[in-house]
A = this chain, B = another copy of it.
Amino acid sequence: MTADGNFFENFRVGETFRHATPRTVTEGDAALYIGLTGARTPLHSSTPFAQSLGYRSRTTDDLLAFHIAFGKTVTDVSLNAVANLGYAEGRFIEPVYAGDTLRAESTVIGLRQNSSGKSGVVWVRSRAFNQMEREVLSWARWVMVTKADATAPAPEPVVPELAPVVAAEDLAIPPFLRLQDYDAAAAGSRRMWEDFHEGERIDHAAGMTVDDPDHTLATRLYQNSARVHFDALAMQHTQFGKRLMYGGHVISVCRALAFEGLENALTIAAINAGTHCNPTFGGDTLYAQSHVLECWELPERNDLGALRLRLIGIKNLAAAELDSPKINVDGKAAYHPNVVLDLDYTVLMPRKRVLN
């Protein structure tokens, strides 16, 4: 029997995994990603548009690069994870172009055994590098991992401090980014950074039914080896009874559904926090709601701002019909059973002055 990945007792704080299978990302991946999500972000769709902003060519979708890098971490970090608990400090540092090759590594930054003694929480910081060894992405995540041997001793608990939000001054703004030729018509809207206000909520009208072959195709494209997404037979014997959709693909579909209303969101600059609140399965129809959390000016840029957004992914209920992502359950706030994603992220958006 082939190895089954690491169990909780195998992790050591400070240990670094250099993950397997570097991956050359190509125009083929970009096409398939559009096919899987319907994404229409102009920076990822059109090379002339990207070049008008100073990029070499259109860039690989931020989330496609993230999923490919993330997928590499699974074999070492989360093959025995029973839950993906959260994300923090996600930073999109350099653009990824077709032809770039990504590799990833992860360092264990925290460990805490659960009171049951049967599992524990593992915190890792993962980083992705391109073929020039430049860091293109980094993020922290924590997962609950089972123990192979329940009698293995508990490690000294180490719980890392993670920033609740990637601050405006820590966002990687491409130094070459110039907006004087910004083409809002290409994006499809003249609604710019100043047109959003904190507390605003956008109910995105579009919905997308995701079938099993869609999410499995996506997850294989990301070379993510987590078996819960692929093996329907083995999943029959779990609480779910069927294949589980990769949460990252839920993020991608919901981000694409949120395009209308946020057309001028240029690129994702940070993932501040994220939770997969409920499982998603093939056949579910996804909808998206966006909440504007903060509107930031950016240092030394009067042509560009940032929006901190909360993306709520919803299954089988139109966005306009969800009053609030959380409901009162026995006096406690809990996620609405149709909410599958709660993602706090930051996008860059041009300001009104770039409009001609």
Residues of B contacting A47 in the complex (Cβ-Cβ under 8 angstroms)? 24, 99, 101, 131
Nearest-neighbour CB distance to chain B for A53, whole angstroms, equals: 13
Give 1 or 0 for each of A31-70: 1 = CB within 8 Å of chain B CB. 1101111101010011111000000001000000000000
Residues of B contacting A218 in the complex (Cβ-Cβ under 8 angstroms)? 35
List the number of copies, as a whole number.
Answer: 3
> Contacts A186-B21, A188-B20, A213-B213: A220 and B38 contacting too (C-beta < 8 A)?
yes
Instruction: Using CB atoms, name the residue of chain B closest to A40.
Output: B21
Contact among B4, B38, B220 with A34 in the assembled complex (CB-CB below 8 Å):
B220
- Ordered by A's residue number, 15 sampled pairs between the chains whose C-beta atoms are within 8 Å are A2-B260, A3-B261, A20-B189, A21-B188, A26-B30, A34-B220, A36-B220, A37-B220, A38-B219, A47-B99, A75-B260, A205-B227, A207-B233, A213-B213, A231-B285
Apart from A2-B205, A3-B260, A24-B46, list 16 A-B contacts with CB within 8 A.
A1-B205, A20-B263, A21-B46, A22-B186, A28-B31, A47-B99, A47-B101, A209-B212, A209-B231, A211-B213, A212-B213, A214-B217, A231-B285, A232-B283, A232-B285, A234-B285
A residues lining the B interface (CB < 8 Å): 1-4, 18-24, 26-32, 34-38, 40, 42, 45-49, 58, 75, 98-99, 101, 103, 131, 185-189, 202-209, 211-214, 216-221, 223, 225, 227, 230-234, 243, 260-261, 263, 283, 285, 316, 318-320
